[in-house]
Chain A
């Protein structure tokens, strides 16, 4: 089954404790992206990757890091989480860049709470 998986689905952590949210897709997609969703602000792009070892900042990259060492995986790293990073996070993948005419596949979401 074609899918994007994320782990963990729910996470409560404390300020400053490094964490990683994993994302994996089994569709051999080149393009992957991370979004955060906040009430009243909708979905906003954090980082994206065009292919292995090719990543770039989205609209709200501050406080986040990513890596793309393998085509299928695109982890999101919070080196020192702060309460303003409490949000619902989505990973997405597609065969071509999001700006092209192609379907987007979203992961199930990770609800992160930073206290």
Chain B
């Protein structure tokens, strides 16, 4: 079993349809990252959160530390939101991030 698991692996939705990507982890953490990887390959950091909820435009990330679970929501997604979304968990003392497998999101017009 992976230490960081994402679901679903693939998600196709229509433009404007609210979507949710989930991330569950089994390792202890101080924070969790959500990353976006576009078809060109580059990775950008979307959120870093250690509690509660963060919002940036149409993107909302939530985390429940007790349940070791985080969700990424996109309200009214556009086709340009099509990308791979990756959650990553910092491992304190091990100087590294452990990454989920990624969720490939496709938004159709």
| Chain A interface (Cβ < 8 Å from any Cβ of B) | 31, 33, 40-45, 48, 50, 56, 58-59, 88, 90, 97-109, 111
Contacts and interface: CB of A to CB of B under 8 A. Distances in A.
B68 interface: no
Contacts of A103: 33, 45, 48
Interface stretch (B17-25, B70-78, B98-106): B98-106
B99 A48 contact: no
A56 B90 CA distance: 17
A101 B50 contact: yes
Nearest to B92: A99
A101 B96 contact: no
Contact of A98 (B40, B97, B100): B97
Nearest to B100: A42
Contacts of A42: 86, 99-102
B95 A109 contact: no
Interface of B: 30-31, 33, 35, 40-45, 48, 50, 86, 88, 90-97, 99-102
A113 to B, nearest CB: 14
Nearest to A6: B42
Given A98-B90, A101-B90, A102-B48, A56 B95 contact: yes
A33 to B, nearest CB: 7
A106 B100 contact: no
Contacts of A41: 101
Nearest to B30: A101
A90 B44 CA distance: 12
Contacts of B86: 42-43
A88 B86 CA distance: 15
A93 B57 CA distance: 25
A62 to B, nearest CB: 16
B30 A100 contact: yes
